[in-house]
């Protein structure tokens, strides 16, 4: 499918991977709703960059993990930019923890945003997609759900395993309506998330360590994920798939001694 002239909602697009996805889609002539939760100024910068390049975009506030806000951000997108053809469920949070330091409130907040948020926004956007008989959805999972054993990511990984399961089940449920649902499982990509809950020195050591155990010898850039999301959105006969985009990190772990 040629994406030119379609409308996309990208959740969590004020920064990081969502921002890169929004810019990449806009460069292909897609009208983009740039959702954010807190950082309106960052979302407005993304929108300004798109408009400066001749594209069409709107900043759309809303917490994906609150059902009424998810409904509202879908409605606002459609009234500003037209019916949603493409949905990228990107908004997500990471809280580092182990079993010993398990925090109920942090786990439930991760699940609220990473899992409930994806369900609420998908439900809201799918209503119109079903009526129109077409739609493309891409969810952001993580290689954490596939078993990279990075310390402190167990409960985050559990939320991303749910994302993978929901991707396949929603693909089943929405396929008869002409809607595809796929996921990307990114590897280690340099965004704000990498620096959260770590000192700069810890983050730098982690980056060097991961790059040394990745087939392509580097960590990922947001654009690496944006081009993969865009690829999935353009496919006509591909659904229920999880595409790992990690420079060969999980395979390095499988194959190295
Ligand atoms: N970076 C990686 O290495 C990596 C690897 C695997 C998977 N992922 C996944 O990729 C996605 C993006 O990650 P990232 O690294 O780009 O994260 P990030 O840099 O921390 O950015 C998170 C984005 O999500 C938004 N957000 C957070 N909570 C939200 C909520 N409740 N409602 C709406 N928006 C919300 C933030 O908005 P505000 O700016 O307003 O706070 C921000 O735009 C996440 O699902 C993450 O789990 C990332």
> pLDDT tens, 189-209?
999 888 877 899 999 999 999
- Asked whether the predicted pLDDT for residue 236 surpasses 90, the reply is yes
**For position 173, what pLDDT does the model report?**
98
Q: Outline where the chain has alpha helix (H).
A: 16-27, 40-52, 67-81, 104-111, 117-132, 154-174, 192-195, 200-212, 222-233, 249-255
**For position 148, what pLDDT does the model report?**
74
- What is the mean pLDDT of the segment spanning 27-32? 98
Cβ–ligand 1 distance for 90 under 6 Å, the answer yes
- Asked whether the predicted pLDDT for residue 74 surpasses 70, the reply is yes
Catalytic site includes residue 156: yes
Cβ–ligand 1 distance for 97 under 6 Å, the answer no
- Asked whether the predicted pLDDT for residue 257 surpasses 70, the reply is no
Domain definitions of the chain by residue range: 7-191+221-245
Closest to 18 measured CA to CA, from 55, 43, 52 = 43
Please give the share of the chain, as a percent, with pLDDT higher than 90.
89
Instruction: Kindly give the distance from the C-alpha atom of residue 28 to the centroid of ligand 1, in angstroms, as a whole number.
Output: 23
**For position 198, what pLDDT does the model report?**
83
Mutational pocket test of ligand 1: of 9, 16, 214, the residue with most ligand atoms within 8 Å of the beta carbon: 16
**For position 197, what pLDDT does the model report?**
74
d(CA 64, CA 74): 10
pTM: 0.98
**For position 193, what pLDDT does the model report?**
83
The CATH classification number of 7-191+221-245 equals 3.40.50.720
Mutational pocket test of ligand 1: of 193, 207, 214, 244, the residue with most ligand atoms within 8 Å of the beta carbon: 193
- Asked whether the predicted pLDDT for residue 141 surpasses 90, the reply is yes
Long-range contacts of the stretch 146-150 (C-beta < 8 A, 24+): 146/185, 146/244, 146/250, 147/250, 148/249, 148/250, 148/253, 149/253
**For position 26, what pLDDT does the model report?**
98
d(CA 165, CA 161): 6
d(CA 257, CA 78): 51
């Amino acid at each position: 499918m040629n994406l030119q002239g379609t409308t996309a909602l990208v959740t969590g697009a004020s920064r990081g991977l969502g921002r890169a996805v929004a810019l990449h889609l806009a460069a292909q002539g897609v009208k983009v709703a740039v959702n954010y939760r807190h950082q309106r100024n960052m979302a407005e910068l993304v929108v300004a960059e798109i408009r400066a390049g001749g594209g069409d975009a709107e900043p759309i506030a809303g917490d994906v993990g609150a059902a009424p806000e998810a409904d509202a951000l879908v409605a606002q997108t459609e009234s500003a930019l037209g019916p949603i053809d493409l949905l990228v469920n990107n908004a997500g949070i990471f809280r580092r923890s182990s079993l010993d330091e398990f925090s109920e409130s942090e786990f439930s907040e991760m699940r609220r945003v990473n899992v409930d948020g994806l369900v609420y926004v998908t439900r809201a956007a799918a209503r119109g997609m079903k009526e129109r008989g077409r739609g493309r959805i891409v969810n952001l999972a993580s290689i954490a759900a596939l078993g990279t054993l990075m310390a402190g990511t167990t409960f985050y990984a559990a939320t991303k395993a749910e994302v993978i399961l929901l991707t396949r089940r929603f693909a089943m449920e929405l396929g008869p309506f002409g809607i595809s649902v796929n996921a990307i499982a990114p590897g280690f990509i340099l965004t704000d998330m990498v620096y959260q809950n770590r000192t700069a020195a810890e983050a730098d050591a982690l980056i060097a360590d991961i790059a040394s155990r990745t087939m392509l010898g580097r960590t990922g850039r947001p654009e690496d994920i944006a081009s993969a999301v865009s690829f999935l959105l353009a496919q006509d006969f591909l659904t229920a798939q999880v595409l790992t985009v990690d420079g060969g990190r999980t395979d390095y772990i499988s194959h190295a001694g």
